[in-house]
Amino acid sequence: MTGAAAENLTFGKAINAGLRAALADDPAVLLMGEDIGQLGGVFRITDGLQDEFGEDRVVDTPLAESGIMGTAVGLAYRGYRPVVEIQFDGFVYPSFDQIVSQVAKLHHRTHGAVTMPITIRIPFGGGIGSPEHHSESPEAYFVHTAGLRVVSPSTPQEGFDLIRAAVASNDPVVYLEPKRRYHDKAPVDLTAPLRPLGPAALAAQGSDVTLVTYGPLVKTCLQAAEAAAADGASLEVIDLRSLSPIDFGLIESSVRKTGRLVIAHEASRTGGLGAEIAATVTERCFHWLEHPPVRVTGFDIPYPPAKLEHHHVPDLDRILDGVDRALGRPNSLDSLDPFAAPVPLGSTSDHTSGA
């Protein structure tokens, strides 16, 4: 993206600019959250917005996520477009019942008479040295819930574009912000037209392996594509952008070209988004696959202490190892017998997954 209107902004500042644009464009938009006013939020994403738009539109709330979300439902009933900030990913759970039982279902429950144009901003993922409740990846819970859109930007431009599109949507949107990318800087076109929420983006073209990811790992996967090219492998990197619905059309067309699929995400392996993508691609592209889909994910454990998180979060080496598995090259699982009988749960040989 280039142009006379482009400004070099950090990811966080780009989201701030998108929120400012949404507030300026529509008087029904208001922001709610803990410490988002004078403090500007713990990550300063709403910095300066209360001074510009007033305390009635940038509202500091009590420390009560369920109450914040319930208030947002009432405001939506009255024609407002609330943008709720959940301070950290692990703090969303007290509001989970409101989100899945009310926000996601009221449009259907009222036969379309009521819309819930609520945007739920959640800083998510690890890599910043924080403990559990501050470094989680809860996306699968929301992707599983019918009635919610779920998106995650990966660049400052996407941060600006997707927050504006989320606020403008008449559907409730869970907007997942990769917090360890807040300080990444890139040109942002602040005059870009409003773009749709759904389509995925082709982040890098390739011919040997399709590498699907989203949010914080897009940057890592692009680095993996560069490293793989030096080793003779061409990776096609797809940035999902939208996690619900998923743009399977782009994924399928890529897999039919490459014949191989690797999915990478920080969230735990079991029941994660990678499992859904792998299953759907296997159903739809079985005859084009040269190798079973490979998942490179976080492990099936509570989020580890800060000094151990680099073992948990997929990094360049683990993603490249997954690519080697898909290509049939030597890899970390070569010592395992792929034809061995399954190990029953509870046996001493059982081990935690997440490779």
- DSSP code at position 100: I
Gap between the terminal Cα atoms of the chain: 35
Q: Rg of the chain over CA atoms, in angstroms?
A: 21
Q: Return the closest-CA partner of residue 80 out of 61, 60, 56, 102.
A: 56
d(CA 21, CA 191): 10
Amino acid at 70: G
Q: What DSSP element (H or E) covers 183?
A: none
Let me know if 107 is a catalytic residue: no
Q: Return the closest-CA partner of residue 89 out of 216, 160, 178, 184.
A: 178
Q: Are 215 and 125 in contact (CB under 8 A)?
A: yes
d(CA 268, CA 290): 26
Q: Maximum distance among all alpha carbons in the chain?
A: 64
Per the rule left: phi > 0, alpha: psi between -120 and 50, beta: everything else, 245 is beta
Amino acid at 1: M
Q: Which of 107, 134, 265, 312 is catalytic?
A: 134
> What does the buried/exposed string (b/e) look like for 146-157 if buried means 16 or more CB atoms within 10 Å of the residue's CB?
ebbbbbbbbbbb
| Cα-based distances in Å from 132 to 45, 171, 176, 184, 304 | 22, 30, 17, 23, 7
Please state whether the peptide bond connecting residue 344 to the residue before it is cis, i.e. omega within 30 degrees of 0: no
How many CA atoms are closer than 13 Å to the CA of 347, on its beta-carbon side?
Answer: 7
Sheet holding 58-60, edge to edge: 58-60, 29-33, 81-85, 119-124, 173-178, 149-151, 242-244
- DSSP code at position 94: G
As annotated, the active-site residues are 134
